[in-house]
Amino acid sequence: MRVELQSFWVNPLTLNHLLELFIFVSEVRKCWSDKNVNLELLTRCIGDFFKENEFNAIKEESESGYQILAEDSPRFEMEGCVSVAVEGHPNDFFVDLDLCVEKGRRLLLGPLTMSLFGGGIYYLRRIKTKENWIRLEKEFWKYVDNALLRVADSAGC
């Protein structure tokens, strides 16, 4: 079931519970100042990125900003989910992009050890996840930079 990102808000307790099930394995933060950006509008634009790339996504508004969790994209096959946080104020804000994997699913064995025990398929999935994550990161930040050009000076006085 695909969820329309703009019309679906999750109870904060539910989203926090989901985040407790994951370990953050890659985190990137970018900060901006003096842009006068409506953060809700920016979050909608980021949601459009996930829709265009066929992710299942949910979002919520919190006291400090907005949170989006996205997973299961046919374009970016990854083990785990993508977490995006948009926090701050119109003239001083940041966007966090994180890759999260389920606790207990992260194997720390090397490729040789894994192949001896038939775990080569897990290692290949991990490599594919890393490749897709790098590609997603590049496309995501390019999309956010373009979105910021469109929504700059969109916040009220």
pLDDT digits (tens, 9 = 90+) for 137-150: 999 999 999 999 99
The percentage of the chain sitting over the pLDDT mark of 70, rounded to a whole number, equals: 69
Q: Kindly state whether residue 1 falls inside one of the protein's structural domains.
A: no
Q: Kindly state whether residue 42 falls inside one of the protein's structural domains.
A: yes
Per-residue model confidence as pLDDT tens digits over 25-74 = 678 899 999 999 999 999 999 999 999 999 999 999 988 899 999 999 99
Q: Kindly state whether residue 55 falls inside one of the protein's structural domains.
A: yes
Q: Are 122 and 107 in contact (CB under 8 A)?
A: yes
Q: Kindly state whether residue 82 falls inside one of the protein's structural domains.
A: yes
Amino acid at 83: S
Number of separate domains in the chain:
1
Q: Are 88 and 39 in contact (CB under 8 A)?
A: yes
Can you give the residue range of the structural domain that contains 57? 12-151
The whole-angstrom separation of Cα 141 and Cα 123 is: 27
What is the CATH number for 52?
Answer: 3.30.310
How confident is the model at residue 87, as a pLDDT? 96
